[in-house]
Structure 1
Amino acid sequence: MTDLRAQLLAAFDIEHREHLEAIRAVLALAAKDASVDFKDAFRRAHSLKGAARAVDLPAVEDVANRLEAILARLSEGTLAVDPPLLKGLHLGLDAVERYVADLAGSPLIAPGVTETLDLLAQGLAAPNPQTPPVQASASPAPAVAYLRVATEQVEDLLRQMHDWNSDLLGVEAVGAGFVSIDRQVRALRRDWDRLAVKPRAADGRGADALRDFDRQLKDLFRGLGALSRDYRRAAWVLGNTSRRLQKGVAEIALVPVSSVYGEFGRMVRDMARDQGVDVAVITEGFDLQVDRQVLQKLKDPTLHLLRNAVGHGGEAAEVRRAKGKPAELTITLAFASKGGRLEVMVRDDGPGPDLARIQTTAVERGLLPAPTRSAPRLSADQLLSIVFAPGFSTAIAVDRLSGRGMGLSVVAEAVRALHGSVILRAGTPFGAEAVVSVPLQASRQTILSVDAGGLTYAIPTHGVERLLRLPVSAIENADGRSAVRIQIAGNDVMVPIMGMASLLGAANAAVPVEGDTIKAVLLRRGERRCALAVDGFHDVHQALIGEAHAVGIDRDIVSGAIIEGGEPALVLDPDALVRRWMRSDAGRMAGSLGLLPRQEADELAPTVLVVDDSITTRTLQKSILEAQGYRVLLSVDGAEALQLLRSGTVMIDLVVADVEMPRMDGFSLLQAVKNDAGLATIPFILMTSRESPEDVRRGLDLGADAYLTKQKFDQRDLLATIGRLL
């Protein structure tokens, strides 16, 4: 089975259960009240049919089609609700559930089910079919099997794997000593061969003794050599097995973001409603697989950032319209995986950070000195870094969202505990963005080992942009600060350079120079960069990061500890290192020192918005389009898609939409898009199972650029149509 089909079947397994449960809930109500509305049940049957087609399960599609016909008549009122009809509908639902559950075996829809549903659709009495034993048929591709495992068991297994890897590092250290002894014995053997020549010729008895000793030494040498080879081979195999096992165990703990944050959209809408703010919530990347522990530990910080976005992003509708914004506030919660890190972004299109107010509040709370005419103006990123200081808050009143003096420091503290970083920046063209970056796994990171001031430190590589070897002659003076000119993204950027030991507090620590060369680590925080000179670099490798417990540790800089060669090494937070440099040079640094202006990419991949209430169909279309290089956004219905289109937060190049969807169907979405002057030019493809000539004509009359039917779905037709329209 291909990976894509396995993914689609896994998605279908979840989706079909949701549809069956929803239809059964409606039938339960209908058993008590015949006047119940069957529209949702009809839509569910329609979605089940489309999803079954996407994963190529014609038997399920056939039953769903018959269920849809019956529910359509019930919705229209042309069919009466009675016990035989409800029993027949449950029979069809049970058949689907039984078929999907037995995909790994020999599934077969029991004879009589489809005939019964046909009779019910015609309003005739349904027979009472007997379900025969499942008959053997051609073996289909095996389905993916799933096992429910308690999260505590997975987390305990992960902890044991971490301990195993630590023990393995100790074994490797012993092995290194063993190999060293092997080398020493080899050297001893060579020395012995040279020394033994003369004694052998001079004394017969001595020669016999030397021959015995020589034989024993050779036996020792052969045994030690064989043992050393066996050890190296076993250690290599053990290391490979350990890495595979570590990867496999870690993947067990991965869950989709939606499993933890699925309710956050509703929570934000509830918060906004309490504040009298109209809000549209956009979620992205909710299908990303992430360590559950990381997601759980980020829940409170993320919710705090969302509260902050609602509390500080609200504006009167007339004010927003005057600025060219939609009347309602748009808040985006996006998850992405970048360079082995999880990036969480909370963005709003409100007024954006009030830098003057931030500076005033910081001065009032003693976080900044009072400004003077001679003092240089602080840059935006310097001011925005202050909002994460303990006790900083610009809220005036105390309410459910803000004003308790805690501010964003609780976010920074929680993110630091995960060995991560958080920044706040102004949005483009307006609003604010808070970006959290943490490891995808709770305690394992890729680190770079460096020497500075006679000590060894570890720096997570996510904050290291590059390693530098600079001639001393390259050092320049910029506003009283040593700096070096570096080419970054085609631009000359003046980057400050200082000794890491000096930044960490070592008195009178100069920039270390080796010959005529300076070794430095280029760190980045947001768009700000600085270079820290070090005594030397070591290797880059994966390490288990633990808590650092010692007196005198600067916890603003130190994010954890590891054991390197039996000795502890402090893990430094690269984000905090840049932040400390910004604070230390706040009074004399140039505003552009180490700063590369944000640049938008000249060419971006076309963005396609897929609108479909079926998770299986969305998964299929997303896989097809991303494989062709398109950027894909997803919406579950027309209302959510229209909010996204009108928000202006992302440029949509083309829309592919289903017709049958809750809240707003595809026809209504198409009509709303074509009636909006700002959206009317976006190419729009309807892709639906509704293939009647009347539906096709209606879609094209409303302005659809293409009308594709799922019954004849061929990904080549979809890709060719998109290629033609773009």
Structure 2
Amino acid sequence: MDNLRDELLAVFDAEYRDHLRAIRGIVAAGCPDARAVAEIFRRVHSLKGAARAVELPVVEGVAHTLENRLSTLLAAGSLPDAADLKAITDTLDEIDLLMTSAPPDTDVVEDVSVQVDNPAYVQVPVARLDALASAVHDLMSVADRHERLWGQVMDLLADQRAVMHAPEHMRADPVAEFARMTRRLMAVGRERELMAGQIDRALLRLGEEVHAVTLVPAESVFGSLAAMARRIAREHGGPEAGVEVHMSGMGVQTERRVMQALRDPVIHLVRNAIVHGHETRAQRLKAGKSERLNITISVTLTGVRLQVAVSDDGRGPDLRAIAARAAGQGLVHADAPLDARQLLARVFEPGFSTRGQADSLAGRGVGLSVVAEAARALHGTVRMEQRQPAGTTVTLTVPVSQRQRTVLLVENAGQTLGLPGRVIRHLLRIRREEIRMLNGMPFGVVPHPPDGTRPEIAPPAEEELVALVPLHAFVGDEDAALPVRDGAVSVAVMEVDGVRCGFAVERMLDVRTLLVSDATAVGLDSELVPGIAWARDDQPVFVLSPDRLFARWRLRGNAGVVRFSDVDSAAPIVPVRHAPLVMVVDDSITTRTLQKTILQSHGYDVCLAVDGEEALALLQQSSRHVDVVVTDVEMPRMDGFGLLAAMQADPHLAGIPVVLMTSRDDGDDVRRGMEGGARAYLTKQKFDQGELIDTIRGLL
């Protein structure tokens, strides 16, 4: 019985949210006619019956009270007045709070539901189900075709066995008979090649449709926060206190897991907006504001990034208090010149709070650090800004999609690359002397299936050759050679649209199922590398697009001279020397790691710093000379401009070239950086790794 009730609660959770969403929409439109009143009545009545079915008498009673009020309006043929609309809104808030209640005396306003987001039930539009059914039908059609093909193979085997056991009964000339069987076998082979592409496309479409089913609108996750905000406002400011909550972009859809992971951080931000942005009615009116605090929760999609922003028009952040607290905790120097952006980055530090005492709403200073940790767990970022003329905006930015994929991990010039498993046909080790040279290009022999899978007396099939190309020629150096290790070349034979190519890699590492995020990192070729995963904490895996890889291989054709490089023997004969040392300064671990791998793949030594203050300390204390500094501008504690100024003021550091790399492309920022002593200013919007490498080479 408990399992049945859990299932019913899961269904009710989706149903009540749908009813409340629809009723709120009607109320927002002012409930303009009798049909609107009847629709609200119908939904409240259905909600009451559903609450009774899952044994939630409190929700049932609240719905019943509103049902009676609406029944009176319908009987009188009246439209709801302001008091009626407020009663409807208050009832919806009460139901939301009953279904999403937070325990008192907790440091965090948590989402403790009657039914905690049972993933067994989701709402799916009929059109999406139709598309999913169509994708399954396509796959089943290919499966039927595969079955017919297998039937042809079995018929061919039967004919062959008949010939083997009674060759005297052959009606035709034996040579002609074998030629006929060979033609049939070749036809089966061609059919199989065509089917391989169809299966790949059918599976890809099915995967896309299944993924689409997992998408949920933002409203399903954040819609109930308005009621929670109004309750928090009453608890903090008394019965008369209120807050107006505005929702924007609630129709935006993304993966449920990603959206759900943002719910608790957004609750933290709403709570902080109310507690830290609170002003009395008199204070707000004096400042020319409305009587109530306004909070806006907005959700937007920017490329492959999901942004959730919580804004308020309260009193805004107290920069002096933040600066004093940061100095007291040793996060900044007391006399350090810091701008608002640098100070606001400090509020996400663990244990940071400007409040003198803790309470059940304001917490103990862990709230915003939890927000930052949640963003980092999703490989995202969080940023606080001052609103004009008053208030605060906090924006969470995370990848919109994270999916599990099976990939072959390979090593390529110090980078770990991922080749999608769905297109890999063979993994080969080809001895150097066994590589065939045709028209000046290398080819490898693809082994036939093991004995027993082909007719034993069938004529020998022609050898299947596959072109060999160094993977590094498409992910790094166009003049790369085929890497030879222990006298052999490691080759991953991939197939796209019936065409095969063998990509030679330095080393095959492992086959792993990884969580892959959409890649938008600085300097990354997003066409060739659309995804990024993390096999280890500090080592990114760049997941390649097989379609783009093959497109570039076709475009390149047979250009270039094929060379071989001995990976093992090259290392001992390289003279021991220090490569140029480049310091990368950036507060994003993703950007730091990506730039590190890019620079190391081009022969540079790299050291890392998380902000300007750490970079300055390393520069002053390091026993090894840093040749170039590549720094972001927007960083906590000390930004790129501050680091540049500090280096120019130190005679031991003033001669080190500094490259500023930032998303700030305003002319004033560029002028400020160049006048401050930077040797180059690269904007992230137009940046590619070739430009960075060329810039560093020019400075050296």
> Normalized against structure 2, the TM-score is what?
0.40
TM-score under structure 1 normalisation? 0.39
